[in-house]
Structure 1
Amino acid sequence: MTYPLQGGTEVTRETFWLIGPVGELVFYYLAVLTIAVFLWGVYDRFARYARGSADPFDRLSDLPGRIARSAKAVGSNEKLFDRDFVGGVMHAFILWGFLTLLIGTTILAIDMDIWTKALGQPSFFVGDFYLSYSLVMDAMGLLFVVGLGVALYRRYVVNKERLWGKHTDWEDAFLVWTLFFLGVGGYLVEGIRILGTGFPDFETVSFVGWFVADVLRVAGMDEAMARAVYPLTWWSHALLAFVFIAAVPYAKPFHMISSFANVVTHDEMAGQRLPGIPADFEHTNAESIDDFTWKELLDQDACTKCGRCSSVCPAKASGRPLDPRDVILDLKAYRESLDAGGEERPIVADGGSVIDTETMESCMACMACMDACPVDIEHLNSFTRMNRQMTDEGAIKPSMQEVFQNVMQKGNTFGDPARKRADWTDDLDFEVTDAREETVEYLWYVGDYPSFDDRNKRVARSLATLFEHADASVGILYDDEVYDGNDIRRVGEEFLYLEQAGTLIESFEACDFEKLVCTDPHSYNTFKNEYPEVDFEEFADDPMMDFDIEGFWNAEGEVEVYHYTQVVQELVAEGRLPLSGTELDYTVTYHDPCHLGRYNDEYEAPRDLVRATGCALHEMPRNRANSFCCGGGGGGLWMDLEEDTKPSEERLREALEDTDAGASVEKFVVACPMCLTMYEDGRKTGGFEEHIEIVGLSELLAEAVEAGGTAAQPSTSESAAPADD
């Protein structure tokens, strides 16, 4: 077919130019063999997941919607730009270049093998279509090569730390170098073809190939030489492509499939809610690799070794023996060794195991690893599974065993008598409503630390003062309140968590209230996201579960759950807490608690309240979803772990050195009792006592209200005393 604009020249190229009919037959034979090896490998991988245990969540609901959302997330590379803009651009170039080349090759195969040979139609790979095809393929292929060049530079020249680890091996080099040589090799084949065919004018649209041809000509290659070396170059490129495709299911390139599948089957509430366990005394958590669910096995194969999780992990940064990437890849390596006939070992134990107990004890359950992961690996589910195994075997620290005993015997983590739970109210100059006796709008779950810890009692009293001043209808459970169980669940004590949840819900159901408000973000997350997931009736026959609850609690969300910052923000907006015009002359920074921010996306309510006091708020570099954990989550509050620098100390250093205000920051504002405890400790051990004050947000608000002359603080001198813990 000829086109006037091209002066009568046929605008196309011969696909098997100089290869010959025998070569074409060999090519198709190798192509079929390659595809067969590829398909078998993919099938074998997914068949392996079926040997894992059933997943408690419906991972395939609304599958079309899941696929559409995943395609958007993967196609936009949105998570890859977070914290690493260059890495995001690099991966976008590679991804879209690769997909364009894949689609282009598929179009060519359709034309050659289906349209012309099978259907007998004239080729559409001519004229304007060919010109457009060549331009797009050259342009996107160039992005592909540039992206891979950046990847090689970051890995081998810059030696970017997070890209290297104990599991770095030949697969990593194979992936990036093979793709790079395929990209460069494609242009070399194209350039030699353009030179060997005498530089047809229309081939200028293949601008990269034309440039390569020019370079080869300047280097001394003529048309005859190009025709002589073309078959060798073509076959080298084709064989490399076949090797890569065949290797996809057996090496790191498989992440191109497993990662997308992982994003599709991701639980949007992963981490916020943990998988429950069946009411089955024969159930095991992590005795064997097949105790892990099929999704957890898929997580292992989806890992690309990018190290983003490692780079944000506060435990790793503090020198603890946890690297979230290594844990996932250690499990994968062990699974593959077993499949190859290797020897079984304990999954988690001290010495000789796949994962050491100290590694799992180091996890703070902060979810930073999951937030940073671009392929939605749900680290916390696998980590909790191993923690449960440790708990079942009694392989936990004595300090945690003491906490468990306290909760079992006294209903709180301190081991204090239940009758003392509301003693913090004694020093108030007003009565806090007993929600067991009166109808209230808000049932306030105070929590263990505000109830029993001297420093945090001041937080409880300041918050009670705010509610009182706003004339809010708020009541508490007094000595019927028990520990919510959030953190012991993340340490692995699932049955004790269930017992506490059932006991507490019985108390909730005995009260008449509309909304639930929590002092602690940990409690807020548990009530909002985890209690509604429990089918309490399933555990009715368990003699340890001393409660009578039918089915689920709050499954339809009829009880609204709030953190106190959200409620106070609403009270301020309604004019019931007059903070407008308040001018506290402090320079402050605010720390995002993991369970309020990263877990539940509440970032603005606390900041709005800080600004409402008139304080000058300066953000730390790591804020909102990128916040750095205080170190108290996942049982860290009760464990004495070896670490180079405590997370709380590092965070206070950041507040004083890395914020815009620097050393001028006077107050470090927190909205979590556990964070308050950890930072008061870090202030002492890190030598920051003379430089910064740790203050609960409710304390700052109460001071602002008092400064406005509209409310009184608690009547005791203790409320103004320095911390003595």
Structure 2
Amino acid sequence: MILLQSEPTRETFWTISPVGEVVFYALSAMAVLVFLYGVYERFARYTEGEADAFDRLDDLPGRIRRASRVVLSNEKQFDRDLYGGVMHAFILWGFLTLLIGTTILAIDIDFYRRITGESFFVGDFYLSYSFVMDALGFLFVVGVGMAIYRRYVVREERLWGKHTGFEDDIFVWTLFVLGVGGYALEALRIVGTEFPEWETVSFVGYFVALVFDAGGMTAGMAETLYWAGWWSHAIIALGFVAFVPYAKPFHMISSFANVVTADEKAGKRLPGVPEDESPDEIGYTSIDDLSWRQLLDTDACTKCGRCSSVCPAKASGRNLDPRDVILDLKRYREELDAGETDEIDIVADGGTSVIAAESMESCMACMACMDACPVDIEHLSHFTEMNRRLTETGQQQEPVQEAMMNIFQNGNAFGDPARKRPDWTRDLDFEVPDAREEDVEFLWYVGDYPSYDERNRRVARSLARLFELSGVSYGILYEDEQHDGNDVRRVGEEGLYEMLVEDNAAAVHDCEFDKIVCTDPHSYNTFLNEYPELDPEFDYPVYHYTQVVESLVESDRVGLDGSEIDYTVTYHDPCHLGRFNDEYEAPREIVRATGATLAEMPRNRSDSFCCGGGGGGLWMEQDEETKPSEERLREALEDTAAGSAVEKFVVACPMCATMYEDGRKTGDYEDDIEIIDVAELLVEALESKRDASAAGDETTSATAD
């Protein structure tokens, strides 16, 4: 029977009999129950995890607001990937609109009509509703179509991997069928009700109806097809609802929960080891060692591959894919829970294990994976726990073990005596103040490489000259300084790290000063974000030297006029200064103050590409196709706007300087580019100014003569 409405509205259960309505509600109830049970089962599993090291539910309203902003704005999806951002925004907003629209319709049918005997689903409300649903539903279909095109036509590499499977296919195609099927049903209803004039607001459905009509479809045919189409659509939709908690669609829930419970300092600080934990229990010994938040991490992963695409270890050909590590843990957990596998080591060097030791050794702790992840998965906490297990079982690489022993015995990775730590000061024509003996404004933590490595001693001397020239009140700890422990912790030596914190903190507490300044971003990070976790009294203001020097330049205490250097340079953002702690401008301001032309590399600021030295990379032997340092130097010379005109590669980290000096040699770039620290560049500018002034004085004197 063809129903002709006299006012803007539509019959929800058109062609569906009362018995059919009852069956639909019964199926809906079953789908919802299956959905709720699945969600309950998932979250009940999380409660079996260990307690997390950090409070994840403090300021819950604020966390929910932040998560809502992140998710609804799609800000992380747009980062590095405009196509992916637009695609996901269309799908998300379209899906939410369709969900809200369906909920509104259910409220009208199941509550409002039963209570009042009337419907609000008429007139202007219905017209507005139809227009919005058609418009946002169309964006949904376009977004899903973009996803299908990228996945199956372009075959975007990062979307495919060993964990790609049938559930990925069924997920995206179900969304597409639901979106397109909705418009087909709408078009059949419009044809079947003989094109009510107000249905033009449903512009997509109306267009499809015109296509059906042009193809010869009659109202009777549309009515017959509508019944079959409606039931097909309903069963697929209800099946999808029931399917959500058991496969990939669950990320719609778990991802939001993951963002809500994220640690704002994730990666910058790492979870500690409980005091009562024995060596046999340290790290991931079994899947039961994962905290509830770490279990949630594994469920939140959407397999998008963004972490994989930015990982410098993977790009270098090392045996690491951050996505696979998270998903390997998830698969192992699910197989264990289902009784489909026996317990094996989580991580081991050789033999059967979930994760290979080589994968963990490949990680540079650069946090690029975490920065790129749109759902705040904290890869580094997982990696560190596995490194701790390797350390406790003596499975770390021999060079790493040697470095740890050197640090334990001598307080530095070089194995040199502590008394040699201040030897770099001997070539200066002034005495570096001893912070143990006099009050200073800045306690300068010099660090291992500027103290012991000849190349980086030049950086320490340059910075000392800048402090002296500017009249900064500063001092160092001399032989009482020990390794900061940042990378010690990241390779898994938690006990040694805690010892270093205790010793360094004791030395610092014995001094009279206002602020700490660090040469190395790794020291800066761990002093700022991790030491206070172990020693609450370590609450000093902490700065990287570029932040202090920038303030000196701005206050004209250095004496530059911005014209001292006239060549082109590029600048590399150190991971621990930039991505970890959001300091991008201070080094750049110093570079610009010298007069140098700064040519930015394509991957800069938070997108910077790691030098390869972090996470113990300086101490490890790697089998890789191209060193990260070599790739970065190639980028500087070939991919920057200035290209081969770039003369100097500016760094602000001793580890970066070491890695890039090595990359110059192994990559055959020695004749193409020079590695220089920001402090060295500034000293060079000052020397250039001094030489120019001296030349000017000689000219003036000669003229006078």
With the shorter chain as reference, the TM-score category is over 0.9
Match of 1:166 in 2: 162
Counterparts of 1:521 and 1:389, CA distance in 2: 26
Q: AA paired with 1:620?
A: M
Counterparts of 2:561 and 2:502, CA distance in 1: 42
Quick one: which of 290, 295, 298 aligns to 1:297?
295
SS of equivalent residue, structure 1 residue 513 = coil
SS of equivalent residue, structure 1 residue 440 = coil
Match of 1:717 in 2: none
Match of 1:709 in 2: 690
Counterparts of 1:79 and 1:632, CA distance in 2: 27
Do 1:683 and 1:689's aligned partners in 2 also have CA atoms closer than 8 Å?
yes
SS of equivalent residue, structure 2 residue 569 = strand
Quick one: which of 555, 576, 580 aligns to 1:595?
576
Cα distance, 1:284 vs structure 2: 3.1
After superposition, the CA RMSD in angstroms is 1.3
Cα distance, 1:8 vs structure 2: 9.0
Counterparts of 2:605 and 2:385, CA distance in 1: 28
Match of 2:69 in 1: 72
Larger mean CA deviation between 627-636 and 65-74 belongs to 65-74
Quick one: which of 34, 38, 63 aligns to 1:37?
34
Q: AA paired with 2:12?
A: T
1:468 maps onto 2:468 in alignment: yes
Quick one: which of 225, 230, 234 aligns to 1:234?
230
Match of 1:716 in 2: none
Cα distance, 1:580 vs structure 2: 1.9
SS of equivalent residue, structure 2 residue 543 = strand
Q: TM-score, normalised by structure 1?
A: 0.94
Counterparts of 1:189 and 1:378, CA distance in 2: 43
Counterparts of 1:144 and 1:259, CA distance in 2: 19
Match of 1:673 in 2: 654
Superposed counterparts of 1:416-427, under 5 Å? 416-427=416-427
Do 1:520 and 1:563's aligned partners in 2 also have CA atoms closer than 8 Å?
yes
Cα distance, 1:86 vs structure 2: 1.0
Match of 1:214 in 2: 210
Counterparts of 2:6 and 2:405, CA distance in 1: 88
Structure 2, unaligned runs of 5 or more: 694-705
Counterparts of 1:10 and 1:132, CA distance in 2: 14
Structure 1, unaligned runs of 5 or more: 1-6, 536-551, 713-725
Q: AA paired with 2:294?
A: E
Cα distance, 1:202 vs structure 2: 1.0
1:590-609 C-alpha deviation (Å, 9 max, x unpaired): 00000000000000000000
Q: AA paired with 2:344?
A: R
Match of 1:661 in 2: 642
Cα distance, 1:308 vs structure 2: 0.4
Aligned in 2, Cα 1:8/1:171: closer, same or farther, shift over 3 Å?
Answer: closer
1:369-399 C-alpha deviation (Å, 9 max, x unpaired): 0000011101001111111111111110000
1:642-673 C-alpha deviation (Å, 9 max, x unpaired): 00000000000000000011111110000000
Match of 2:344 in 1: 345
Superposed counterparts of 1:66-145, under 5 Å? 66-117=63-114, 119-145=115-141
1:217-260 C-alpha deviation (Å, 9 max, x unpaired): 11221111111111100000000001100000000000000000
Aligned in 2, Cα 1:477/1:39: closer, same or farther, shift over 3 Å?
Answer: same
Do 1:425 and 1:432's aligned partners in 2 also have CA atoms closer than 8 Å?
yes
Counterparts of 1:226 and 1:199, CA distance in 2: 12
Match of 1:512 in 2: 512
Q: AA paired with 2:168?
A: D
Match of 2:489 in 1: 489
Counterparts of 1:628 and 1:115, CA distance in 2: 57
Cα distance, 1:281 vs structure 2: 3.5
Match of 1:553 in 2: 537
1:541-565 C-alpha deviation (Å, 9 max, x unpaired): xxxxxxxxxxx223xx4x1100000
Q: AA paired with 2:508?
A: F
Q: AA paired with 1:271?
A: G
Match of 2:385 in 1: 385
Match of 1:687 in 2: 668
1:199 maps onto 2:195 in alignment: yes
Cα distance, 1:637 vs structure 2: 0.5
SS of equivalent residue, structure 1 residue 319 = coil
Quick one: which of 268, 274, 277 aligns to 2:270?
274
Identity of matched residues, %: 69
Counterparts of 1:278 and 1:693, CA distance in 2: 46
Quick one: which of 243, 249, 261 aligns to 1:247?
243
Match of 2:405 in 1: 405
Match of 1:311 in 2: 309
SS of equivalent residue, structure 1 residue 695 = strand
Match of 2:44 in 1: 47
Counterparts of 1:17 and 1:616, CA distance in 2: 70
Q: TM-score, normalised by structure 2?
A: 0.96
Q: AA paired with 2:180?
A: V
1:66-92 C-alpha deviation (Å, 9 max, x unpaired): 111111110010111111101101110
1:298-337 C-alpha deviation (Å, 9 max, x unpaired): 0110000000000000000000000000000000000000
1:566 maps onto 2:547 in alignment: yes
Do 1:705 and 1:711's aligned partners in 2 also have CA atoms closer than 8 Å?
no
Do 1:469 and 1:711's aligned partners in 2 also have CA atoms closer than 8 Å?
no
Match of 2:677 in 1: 696
SS of equivalent residue, structure 2 residue 308 = helix
Do 1:582 and 1:707's aligned partners in 2 also have CA atoms closer than 8 Å?
no
Do 2:563 and 2:595's aligned partners in 1 also have CA atoms closer than 8 Å?
yes
Do 1:182 and 1:237's aligned partners in 2 also have CA atoms closer than 8 Å?
yes
SS of equivalent residue, structure 1 residue 165 = coil
Q: AA paired with 1:295?
A: R
Match of 1:177 in 2: 173
Match of 1:544 in 2: none
